[in-house]
Amino acid sequence: MSFRTLKILTIIIPPLLIGSFELIRHSVLLYHMSMETGNYLIILLTLAVSYVFSTWMFKMIEEKNHRLATEREMRAVYEERERLAKELHDNIAQTLFLLKVNLKKGKIYEASGLVNSIDANLRQAIYNLRVNPLEMISFPKRVENWLIEWSTVSGIETNVSIQITEGYFSPSEEVQLFGIIQEAFTNIRKHSEAQSAGLLLQMIPNGWEMKIEDDGKGFSKNERSLNQYGLVMLKERVEKIDAVLEISSEKNHGTKIMVKGSDK
């Protein structure tokens, strides 16, 4: 039922029912009911009609809003998949070009590293596409499964702790958070030379926080270029969920990424 139909019913039904009662009251019940009794009855009838009709109408509106919200969330998931597909295409195209150049120059070691990079990117993309957005898999479980696969591919030991109640984040927020985690751990694999990495996602007073850190080579203040380390994407995703991003790193002392958000 459309909002236009609801609007028309809102205009027509209450006055129609109450007007019909008044018509019957003055034409049929005029000699069987006192004016005072009729006044009380019309008050009770008005209350009953208003309660039943408004309850039904708001239930319909709530169902429509819920359906629209679900459709928006699903659209966000599929848009994220499209973005990942484009990113994968561009990444692999660039890597294949570099692979071809290195093979022509006889740089077998560098070419081998590029092949491993393509393999890792494909594995991550396959995982993303394999997860059906309609499946009832909890957000913590999806993150844990992805990090297990990431750890297997990268060879980096991973510690994961997720202490968030189910349903705390909306589906679109989960999409952005999952993207932040993937982007951060991809950067760790590509740049950090770390032996171990960790993820902590937990609720705190008045909000939540997510900490991602590694024991890799880190980078100095002079090297702190968001574009160089692919962290500009993290900043964009963090802004989409109205959170705050903090990045701290020292040469040979690893990198820590902190994301903090407030309660809705």
Q: What is the pTM of this model?
A: 0.58
Q: Percent of the chain beyond pLDDT 90?
A: 16
What is the residue whose two structure tokens read 């991550």?
124
The structure tokens listed for 200 are 């902590």
| Nearest Cα residue to 258 out of 246, 244, 242, 241 | 246
| Nearest Cα residue to 184 out of 220, 156, 223 | 156
Q: Which of 90-94, 184-188, 207-211 has the lowest mean pLDDT?
A: 90-94
The structure tokens listed for 13 are 């039904």
Beta-bridge partners for 262: 207
What is the residue whose two structure tokens read 């990431």?
150
The structure tokens listed for 114 are 């590029």
Number of residues written out for the chain = 264
Mean pLDDT of 196-206: 94
| Nearest Cα residue to 229 out of 187, 182, 186 | 187
Is the pLDDT at 227 greater than 50, yes or no? no
CA distance 85 to 92: 11
Q: What is the pLDDT of residues 26-63, one digit of tens each?
A: 777 766 777 777 777 777 877 887 788 778 878 888 88
* Residue 245 near residue 234 (C-beta atoms within 8 A): yes
Cα angle, residue 231 at apex, residues 225 and 232 outer, rounded to 5°: 85
Q: Is 151 helix (H, G, I), strand (E, B) or coil?
A: helix
CA distance 62 to 56: 10
Burial 192-222, CB ≥16 within 10 A → b, else e: bebeebbbebeeeeeebbbbbbbbbbbbeee
Q: Percent of the chain beyond pLDDT 70?
A: 80
In sequence order, what E strands does the chain have? Answer: 157-163, 196-204, 207-214, 244-249, 255-262
Confidence at residue 7, expressed as pLDDT on a 0 to 100 scale: 73
Residue 10 sits at φ, ψ, to 5 deg, of -60, -35
Q: What is the pLDDT of residues 77-136, one digit of tens each?
A: 677 667 666 766 676 777 788 888 888 888 887 777 777 667 766 766 666 666 555 555
